[in-house]
Structure 1
Amino acid sequence: MQQHSRQPDLVEGRLPVFVFPTELFFYADEQASHKQVLTLYNPYEFALKFKVLCTAPNKYAVVDATGAVKPQCCVDIVIRHRDVRACHYGVIDKFRLQVSEQSQKKALGRKEVMATLLPSATQEQPQSRPQEDERRMKEQLTDSLFFEQTAFQTESRAASGGPSVLTVLLGLVCMAALMLPTLGEQESTVPVYLHLSVNKKLVAAYVLGLLTMVILRT
């Protein structure tokens, strides 16, 4: 008998995809920033295969643009900017991560990550769309939390009687984001590309608050 027990939950294009960070910044004057790492998390009970697409493939080199992620594991995807020129300053490119079951061809979920090249690490990141980006990020994270609660709440509680692995993982990510230096801080040993803006820290605090309520209800 074929295994179709979870197929109703796996609607094409609707599976939440968890990637960190959600935006990449490359700095022309900082060689170390020309290499960035995207971490793809798989909090589900089944393996996923992934594929990385880009709107400007000639400008970037992606190590292992396709691959697989074991259940409740993560993989690092290395992205290198190989065309650092002044004509590309401020241009916003997009990476799309598509995930699917290993035995299926259809994309169950997708996530877009913005990539921007700036002339200097001391230059502030683009501020033309902060409110819209932060609002969209909040909506996506809230939807992801709702999906996780409705789809996996019964199984998680039966197994451990406490918060699920995904809830704890997201909480740790938010706490780590809050502990990173704020953009503009000068005296820090942390690389500049890991400094977060105030808006991003507010989003992390917002999501951490949601997670706290989820944990208190379990």
Structure 2
Amino acid sequence: MQLDRRPRLVDGKLPVFVFPTEIVYYVDDRSSHKQVLTVYNPYEFTLKFKVLCTTPRKYAVIDSEGTIRPGCCVDVVVRHKDIQESSYGVKDKFRLNLYEHGQREPIGSRDIQAVLLPTSEGQGRESQDPSSSRRGSSSTAPFTAVARQRSVAPGPTIVLLAIACIAALLLPLHGEAETSLPVYLHLTVNQKLIAAYVLGLVTMVILRT
């Protein structure tokens, strides 16, 4: 007798496991402008996911679609792009939909609220501020697919160039006699300065990716 390994559905939907369930951005804390949603797949089959949003123009989402293998999790980076006073206290929503492979209709979904606050010191004051109820809210707006963006890793040319610069800096200076390396591998001070300058530029490129 073959057992049905499919998890029990709740109200016809698959339970969705995501953390956190609320995203809070702070204007005075630049590190909070980029948040991470972790989506878990505790099931024994592969799931596909898709991130929707009520106001996609305000956010940049890295890998808003993808797959999650059984027993694994994925991180979805959500960056706030609209850091301005008009967005203070406005509650937007993300919707995480889960799909079976080859299916278009979601088998599970979870809403995640996002809000931008002026300062981390005012955490919790938003709900107490009567003016916050008069601010615009996107909680009732329709969900729209977020533009899919991918994190770009440094290409092989950039990596090889960085390795070449490091190797050049490790080579002996021209005129050093106590070395077993041939003379043509001895660099001048100017050549090492150029290598150091190029390495600095390459490092900036790698850090920005």
TM normalised by structure 1 equals: 0.54
Deviation at 1:128, TM superposition (A): 3.3
List aligned pairs for 1:30-41, cutoff 5 A. Answer: 30-41=29-40
Shift of 1:124: 1.8
Aligned residues: 127
Q: Partners of 2:61 and 2:82 in 1: how far apart?
A: 13
Q: In structure 2, what is the equivalent of residue 57 of structure 1?
A: 56
Aligned to 1:78: 77
**Paired position in structure 1 for 2:95:** 96
Instruction: Flag the 1:9–1:70 CA change in 2: closer, same or farther, 3 A.
Output: same
Paired-residue identity, %? 55
CA distance in 1, matches of 2:10, 2:102: 15
Question: For 1:104 and 1:45, how far apart are their aligned partners in 2?
Answer: 17
Q: Distance in 2 between matches of 1:84 and 1:127?
A: 17
Distance 1:63 1:11, change over 3 A: same
The residue matched to 1:84 in structure 2 has which SS?
A: coil
Structure 1: any 5+ residue segments left out of the alignment?
Answer: 130-218
Measure, in 1, the Cα distance between the counterparts of 2:10 and 2:43: 15
| Greater fraction of residues in helix | 1
Q: What TM-score does the superposition give when structure 2 sets the normalisation length?
A: 0.56
Of 96-105 and 33-42, deviating more is: 96-105
Where does residue 128 of structure 1 map in the other structure? 127
Pair 7,45 (structure 1): closer, same or farther in 2 beyond 3 Å: closer
In 2, distance between residues paired with 1:56 and 1:82? 11
The amino acid that maps onto 1:105 is R
User: How many Å separate the matches in 2 of 1:22 and 1:68?
Assistant: 20
Question: Is the 1:12–1:106 contact (alpha carbons within 8 Å) kept by the matching residues of 2?
Answer: no
Could you list the structure 1 runs, at least 4 aligned residues long, displaced by more than 4 angstroms after superposition: 5-13
CA shift in 2, pair 1:31/1:13, >3 Å: farther
| Deviation of 1:7 (Å) | 6.6
**Larger-gyration structure (1/2):** 2
Structure 2 unaligned blocks of 5 or more: 129-209
